Structure 1
Amino acid sequence: MLDNLSDRLFWDVDPKSLDWEKDISLIISRVLERGTLQEWRTIEQRYGLNKIVSVAKEIRSLDLLAINFLAQISGTPITEFRCYNTKQLNQKHWTY
């Protein structure tokens, strides 16, 4: 059970079945992209900034705002995030 995290973050899964450790990537990505400041503080307290950044570096898809937020508060170069490099390689055609 994920105390202090809203069920709205996990609309596509049963929130009661989530585990803090087993589902760490899902939890971190959902809070970064759709969570409130209070939910951010919850995961920061639970995992610590270093662990969040470490996990986020391996996530394949995060929005640019979330990547920039983590890069700024942790002092991590944005190019170290897998999702940033993937987006750079898969740019859309300029007419889209």
Structure 2
Amino acid sequence: MLENLSNRLFWDVDSKSLDWEKDISLIITRVLERGTLEEWRTIEQKYGLNKIVSVAKDIRSMDLLAINFLAQISGTPITEFRCYNSKQSTPAHWIY
């Protein structure tokens, strides 16, 4: 099932060495921020929405659009996400 995720999501790591459980935060972050709808469906099928939300709540940095998407489809208040509450005070120029 990991082969359903594009190598473009993991340009900086060896995608063949990724492990579904060990690298769960990386996989969820990359798919939420840069993945396609099909890639989202792959991780949703693999982990389930509750697990994705649980992991995403502890991720330190994630795109605001990705956080909003996850908050909306799960009915979770956006303030429960760590990355929402600890945003960078000055975003890097290439992000926005």
TM-score, normalized by the shorter chain, greater than 0.5: yes
1:36-65 Cα shifts (integer Å, max 9, x gaps): 000000000000000000000000000000
Shift of 1:3: 1.9
Counterpart of 2:86? 86
Does residue 37 of structure 1 match 2:37? yes
What is the rounded CA distance, in whole Å, between the counterparts of 2:22 and 2:61 in structure 1? 18
What displacement does 1:2 show?
1.6
Q: Which residue of 1 aligns with 2:55?
A: 55
How many residues are matched?
91
SS at match of 2:57: helix
DSSP-derived class of the 1:27 partner: helix
2:2 corresponding residue in structure 1: 2
Mapped to 1, the partners of 2:56 and 2:83 lie a distance apart of 9
What corresponds to 1:18 in structure 2?
18
Q: Separation in 1 of the partners of 2:3 and 2:46?
A: 11
- For residues 66 and 20 of structure 2, what CA distance do their matches in structure 1 show? 20
Q: Matched residues in 2 for 1:67 and 1:34: separation?
A: 13
In structure 1, stretches of 5+ residues that fail to align are none
* Residue 82 of structure 1: how far off its partner (Å): 0.2
Distance in 2 of aligned mates of 1:81 and 1:18: 25
Gap regions ≥5 residues in structure 2: 91-96
In terms of Rg, which structure is larger?
Answer: 1
